[in-house]
Amino acid sequence: MARLTGKRALVLGGSRGIGAAIVERLTDEGAETTFTYAGSAGAAEALAGKTGASRVQADSADRAAVAEVVAGLGSLDILVVNAGIAVLGDALELDPAEVDRMIDINVRGPYHAAVEAAREMKDGGRIVVIGSVNGDRIPFAGGAAYALTKSAVQGMVRGLARDFGPRGITVNSIQPGPVNTDMNPAEGPMKDMMHSFMAIPRHAEPGEIAGMVAYLVGPEAGIVTGAQHTIDGGFGA
Ligand code: NDP
């Protein structure tokens, strides 16, 4: 029997990149999985067809939409909040509305989704938020607003672990370094600069991040909570 057979999972932001790898891994392990997407309807349809997961369109910047998805699924065992965007650039030049939208998606989305999911989550449930090593370290200019959102995830994970711990629900973040996705292609223009900070100078593949998710949502990780799990090739070392 697969490790997650009988578990019900929701992945916010599952259509592409790291989120798609997480959906593939959770379904491979037997979890009955639903994922959300915002704009990539074609990719979402293809992934649902490939994995058997269910898909729902919901913008993570819209608290009511996220709450409706969570409430509609009833009692979950696993919530993974992956949806995120990166608005990078000179702080004096960035569009403040774009920065606010990033804060909505990267900070308000995970917080409200976690709280709403916890209302009906089974004892022993699992909440994982995809943060970033940039929550710890931002060694280049133009990343202040993005780093702000990922540092906020750290505080939320610590606090919610305390709130939900009495029910055996764990709350953790994963902090990737560079990962080969549309957001940060392995052959993109920032490749050499990013690799210069790393002990192992390469992008991770999305499946490597999904492997850490699989551990944290699995039966061996019941005492792991309130922690940030960095997987970054030594970017933050
Ligand atoms: P991609 O841009 O490749 O994919 C982002 C995914 O999130 C897509 O499935 C997208 O769905 C979904 N998404 C984005 N905005 C929303 C929204 N408003 N509502 C619902 N879903 C949304 O990014 P990655 O896979 O690279 O990143 C995933 C997470 O990992 C993010 O939180 C990111 O900050 C984090 N991360 C990434 C790193 C990297 O180097 N790639 C490094 C460290 C952290 P759709 O296309 O349907 O809109």
The contacts of residue 177 (CB under 8 Å, 6+ apart) are: 133, 194, 198, 204, 230, 231, 232, 233, 234, 235, 236
By alpha-carbon position, which residue is closest to atom 33 of ligand 1? 84
Distance, in Å, from the CA atom of 59 to the CA atom of 62, rounded to the nearest integer, reads: 5
Distance, in Å, from the CA atom of 3 to the CA atom of 50, rounded to the nearest integer, reads: 20
pLDDT per residue over 189-236, tens digit each?
999 999 999 999 999 999 999 999 999 999 999 999 999 999 999 999
Structure tokens of 135? 């929550």
- At 214 the pLDDT is 98
Q: Is the pTM of this model over 0.95?
A: yes
Domain ranges of the chain: 8-230
The contacts of residue 5 (CB under 8 Å, 6+ apart) are: 29, 30, 31
CA of 18 to the centre of ligand 1 (A): 7
Q: Of 124, 122, 75, which Cα lies nearest the Cα of 224?
A: 124
CATH value of 8-230 in 3.40.640.10, 3.90.550.10, 3.40.50.720, 3.40.50.880? 3.40.50.720
Distance, in Å, from the CA atom of 5 to the CA atom of 62, rounded to the nearest integer, reads: 31
List phi, psi (to 5°) of 127.
Answer: -120, 125
pLDDT per residue over 82-94, tens digit each?
999 999 999 999 9
| Ligand 1 atom with minimal separation from the 16 CA | 9
- At 1 the pLDDT is 64
Say yes or no: CB of residue 40 within 6 Å of ligand 1: yes
CA of 76 to the centre of ligand 1 (A): 22
Mean pLDDT of the region 162-176: 98
Say yes or no: CB of residue 143 within 6 Å of ligand 1: no
pLDDT per residue over 72-131, tens digit each?
999 999 999 999 999 999 999 999 999 999 999 999 999 999 999 999 999 999 999 999
* Angle, CA 32 vertex, CA 27 and CA 36 arms, to 5°: 85
Mean pLDDT of the region 146-172: 98
**pLDDT confidence of 33, banded at 50, 70, 90?**
very high
CA of 166 to the centre of ligand 1 (A): 31
**pLDDT confidence of 25, banded at 50, 70, 90?**
very high
